[in-house]
A and B are shown apart, each in its own frame.
Chain A
């Protein structure tokens, strides 16, 4: 395609003076914050509640796509079991929420921590493997987590865990089933945090390490890049983000079961990253929004949703492997 949308956007951004940049960023953030109020417009989704859809799948897919992007898009590590971290976060919320008196905010760091530890445990032995094999092993990990959850009666087995408490009132915001705005803004806050974190890391040593690993790992090794260390960090951060999403998901759905965390979800998130533009934050966000929102809006394709994702993967890889908003082609800096 002759016009690189992302570069055009980046050009406009670079040319704008600081006040203009602050204005653009603020406007975008305000627009995102106000999204729940557009429920009565053409954006409305026919069957599910619009606000609920904004939280899941749209908001949480965006969050998870950003997390997976660090692993797959930036570092070039194919993780096919990403849903496992989401599940670990969700089950942490479910178990601790129903058996202890800890609330959502107290459980969140625990969920993130457990997901991160799992990411490190998974990564240590497997990140020495070459690409294809890493893919299979991570796929296996995702499935093992689901099968263990399915067969362990202590955490509900196939019936899962119900009656997960909703988060307590935050300032004057109530988290209810009818009014999902508070959940949405929580997810949005997480998304803003993750974006900040990624942009921070990208222009510094970790970002450079990830890029060099993706582009030519053998040479990166020989240039002194601590490849194993940074690959594990990529896994850990990705897992942390997935885990955070899982905690919110469980609190919002108030019920978790193994069938909610299947391989399909891992592939759906991967499709968001691939479709949007691997390595590129804005592409990934756009991809996730489109792929999560459209099936809800255009219901007849909902049953064929996975089929369409499969087609998306094949078509995108063959025609436009860089995604709809490709990674930078122009010389944008990896240094601040």
Chain B
């Protein structure tokens, strides 16, 4: 089974603070791996080093077993096939839903500035194809009915789904979801879980940060746990749920023996 992304001995230090400490982590192709841990454990930092926002102090991050993403530019990493959503919704608020996704799809276009200016055939073809694909993605996420509404005017649930649609617009191999269920009520969370499974079934590999345990247990193939920048568990959901160290990290007291 191919490792779509692998963190090898990744350490991330900011001045005196060690956000990630010798983390070894990988996600297999077609898997849904959930990354959990108490607040401040370093989960979003993992996303940030993978996507090139930060350069790890030590260690390597390998994509698809062939490309080291450390030191690459952010757009290059996206072009390689990694996309993400954000903890706080960060849409292009003054663009429509459709435009958000089309902008993400531009990374796959080969036509350049001149082609766009003079309306060369390849540019026009790519525009049309991009637009159609974007519309499909909106349908896939169930938000095609708001395709022409501005991002900032969408209801919260639609915004969250648009973020996912936009990330998918870059045609990634690996999708990073940062707390996609934040602010959702239970029925919305169930719908989101179905959507994430649908995305995985369509061929994407997913690395997911979440706090809602039932959501995670329901859809994850594996769960990795971070605490103060160190990975303390990495196994199937059932095993991790009962791991004493994990329980201690969250609750702060040793689990009762009986």
A→B interface (CB under 8 Å): 197, 200-201, 204-206, 208-209, 211-212, 215-216, 218-227, 233, 327, 329, 331, 333-336
Contact = CB atoms under 8 A, between A and B. Distances in A.
A59 to B, nearest CB: 23
B166 interface: yes
Contact of B94 (A204, A205, A211, A220): A211
A206 B93 CA distance: 18
B113 to A, nearest CB: 6
A208 B102 CA distance: 9
A211 B107 contact: no
B90 interface: yes
Given A205-B111, A208-B99, A215-B92, A223 B83 contact: yes
B74 interface: yes
Given A204-B116, A220-B103, A223-B170, 7 more contacts: A206-B113, A212-B95, A215-B95, A219-B86, A223-B78, A224-B78, A233-B113
Interface in B94-126: 94-96, 98-99, 102-104, 106-107, 109, 111, 113, 116-117, 119, 123
A216 B74 CA distance: 14
Contact of A197 (B75, B117, B148, B167): B117
A148 B95 CA distance: 43
A330 B103 CA distance: 19
Name which of B93, B95, B109 has the most chain A CB atoms within 10 A of its CB: B95
A216 B166 CA distance: 14
A200 B119 contact: yes
Q: Is the interface of A mostly helix, strand, loop or mixed?
A: helix
A211 B131 contact: no
B178 to A, nearest CB: 11
Contacts of A221: 74-75
A215 B94 contact: yes
B150 to A, nearest CB: 6
B174 to A, nearest CB: 13
Smallest CB-CB A-B distances: 7 pairs: A224-B107, A224-B78, A204-B116, A221-B74, A208-B103, A334-B99, A223-B104
Contact of B106 (A201, A205, A222, A327): A205
B79 interface: yes
B136 interface: no
A221 B74 CA distance: 6
Nearest to A236: B113
Interface in B113-169: 113, 116-117, 119, 123, 127, 131, 148-150, 166-167, 169
Interface string B64-102: 000000000011001100011010001011111011001
Given A206-B116, A212-B103, A222-B74, A335 B150 contact: no
Given A200-B119, A223-B170, A224-B78, A215 B93 contact: yes
5 contacts: A208-B102, A209-B106, A225-B75, A233-B113, A335-B127
Contacts of B166: 223
A260 to B, nearest CB: 31
A227 B83 CA distance: 16
A211 B92 contact: yes
B90 A209 contact: no
Contacts of B109: 205
B161 to A, nearest CB: 16
Nearest to A197: B117
Contacts of A327: 94
B51 interface: yes
A209 to B, nearest CB: 7
Contacts of A226: 75
A3 B220 CA distance: 51
Contacts of B106: 205, 208-209, 224-225
